[in-house]
Amino acid sequence: MNPPTRKAPSPVAFIVIAALVGVHVLAWQGTGFSPGALVEGWRGMADFLSQSFPPDLGVLGDSLDAAVVTLYIGLLGTTFSIPFALLLGVLASRATTPNSWTYQIARSILSVLRSVPDVVFALIFVTAVGLGPFAGVLALVFHNTGVMGKLWAEAMEETDPGPREALRVAGASGAQTAVNAVLPAVLPQMVGLLLYRFDVNVRSSLVLGLVGAGGIGFLINQSIKLFRFDQMVTHIIVVVVVVVLVDQLSAYVRRRLAT
């Protein structure tokens, strides 16, 4: 019995592979990627590590206080975005918004909010309200509204069309259809996405502190500027513990919701 013959790759496959290789070569050159430079910089890395260890535990109290502020930023940035994300999510879902103009406008708003990084929002609000956690909360509210509204809108569109079509035939309005058919069906998934976003926002609030939006990221930035790398390591250890705890708590709640 003759073995099955393999089909030769098509010319399109060769073109795609060649294009991918070419793009990676351009990216390598454009970014100045150089493993040799990393190897040659071992002395600087060794000096950095020697100044970082042992960690300075004298700043542990300040680090823990700042970590709590970071959690507050992530919490408020998530919860305060819920009403805006819910409204835009309903308007940006074809399951709840038959009007094409309303749908497109809501989608465009979500795209704009989602495309602007939270760090950029933080820089904008720092100039508006000054340094501190309030700017970080505002930045997360705006960015998270775009992300969470998009996720919720897509979740609504995946619901069973049967119940909502039955309500529409019975004369229900779009709001009544959303409240009585769509939102109850997708509520567990929406809560799971919300918890996931809270997890992400806590991590994001660490970065926002680097641009003056408060929290433990601000202390990390200060430590780097003062060349107190031993203090920086203490702050980073606290960050790792906080992130792991939030991740475990979020995963536990999502598992409970799924059962």
pLDDT tens-place string over residues 147-173:
999 999 998 888 777 777 777 777 666
Quote the DSSP letter at residue 99. -
Q: Which two tokens stand for residue 91?
A: 């308007």
| Domains of the chain, first to last | 60-258 (1.10.3720.10)
**pLDDT reading at 49 higher than 60:** yes
**pLDDT reading at 240 higher than 60:** yes
Q: What is the mean pLDDT of residues 26-39?
A: 84
**pLDDT reading at 3 higher than 70:** no
pLDDT tens-place string over residues 119-155:
999 999 988 888 888 999 999 999 999 999 999 999 8
Q: Which two tokens stand for residue 135?
A: 């700017």
